[in-house]
Structures are given as structure tokens and as C-alpha cells.
Amino acid sequence: MRVTLLTPVALLSTLGLSAPITDAGTAAAPAWKVTDFTTGCSPGGCVYSFNIHAAKSANTPAFSTTCNGTDEQNGLQPCEDANILSNLKPETYPKWEIIVQHKWHPEEGSTRFATGSKNVSVPDTNKAASFTMEPTAESGVE
Ligand SMILES: *[C@@H]1O[C@H](CO)[C@@H](O)[C@H](O)[C@H]1NC(C)=O
Ligand SMILES: *[C@@H]1O[C@H](CO)[C@@H](O)[C@H](O)[C@H]1NC(C)=O
């Protein structure tokens, strides 16, 4: 099934209007740095592991942790630092989509989430890869 989302941009151009779209929520968020990303597959499935670091910014705390899991896990799973969650989805080999969520509490009783995803190409050779990914979506629960 293919779902088509009508984005605000598409909607505006449909109406013959145009307006700058900005996302103030993520403008200042620093990129997340991923190191030692590896995957390995066996007939039983694929495992992955990586380290991820983020510098502190005005609105987000720093973090540094190790995440691992399998491509058959059920959605986002906590990393060693449980405020960071990760998931891996196989795309066309050797492409993988890595999904990371950062959860923090700016103040008591409120929670914010920043989520990023990136397609990376890592052949199943256990060669470690490093890359950066941008948190692209931010949401919160007050
Ligand atoms: C992830 O790392 C933990 C701790 O080293 C280990 O116990 C667990 O088996 C690993 N999970 C996978 C899927 O490799
Ligand atoms: C990764 O690739 C898949 C398939 O091409 C695409 O649906 C998905 O949006 C891509 N994800 C990112 C973060 O670019």
C-alpha cells in the first residue's frame, strides 16, 4: 500500500500560494555523531551496534551511549542510556535505515522527544562506519 501525505508545501502549491516553511524547533539542534556502526547478518537475522554522541545545546542535553539490537526487534528499543532509543530497518541491501530517538525532561512533568533517521550503506563485513545524522522531528508532552 502506498500512502501519499499532502505536506503543507504541497498543499500551498496546490492552492497556488507559497510561503517559507521553517522549523524553529530543530534549527539549533546539533547533529548526532554515530561511530562504530556495524551490522552482521546470519540466517537468524541481523544484529547492529553503534555509539552515538550529541553535544549539549541551548535546548537539549548532551548524551553519549551505545545502542544495539536486531532488525527483528519490535520498534524503538532503549540503548544503554535508556533516554536514547534505536531501531534499524533493512532497506535494499546494503542500505539500512537507522532510527534514533532522544527523550529528555526540560522540567519536571514535561518530556520532549527528538527523532532522526538516516539511510546508511554498510555491507555485511563488520567494517565500522561513522556518520552524522540530524534530529529532524521534535515533539513534546507537557
Ligand atoms: C546488546 O548488548 C548487550 C550488552 O553487551 C548484550 O547483552 C546483548 O546481547 C546485545 N544484543 C544484541 C542483539 O547484540
Ligand atoms: C530511506 O530509504 C527509504 C526507501 O528508499 C525511504 O522510504 C526512506 O524515507 C529513507 N529514509 C531517510 C531518512 O531518508
Cα of 130 to ligand 1 centre, how many Å? 20
- The overall average pLDDT reported for the chain is 82
Residues framing ligand 1 (Cβ under 6 A): 47, 68-70
The reported pTM is 0.78
* Nearest listed ligand to the Cα of residue 136: 2
Instruction: Give the cell for residue 111.
Output: 518530556
Residue 13: predicted pLDDT = 42
Asked if 37 contacts 49 with a C-beta cutoff of 8 angstroms, the reply is yes
Query: Which percentage of the chain shows pLDDT scores above 70?
Result: 78
> In this predicted model, what pLDDT tens digit does every residue of 68-81 receive, in sequence order?
999 889 899 999 99
CA dihedral 27, 32, 33, 38 (to 10 degrees): -140
Domains in the chain, CATH or no CATH each:
25-141 (2.40.350)
CA–CA distance, 87 with 85 (Å, rounded to integer): 7
| % of residues, the chain, pLDDT over 90 | 48
Chain segment 21-35, per-residue pLDDT in tens: 444 444 457 899 999
**Peptide bond connecting 106 to the previous residue in cis, omega within 30 degrees of 0:** no
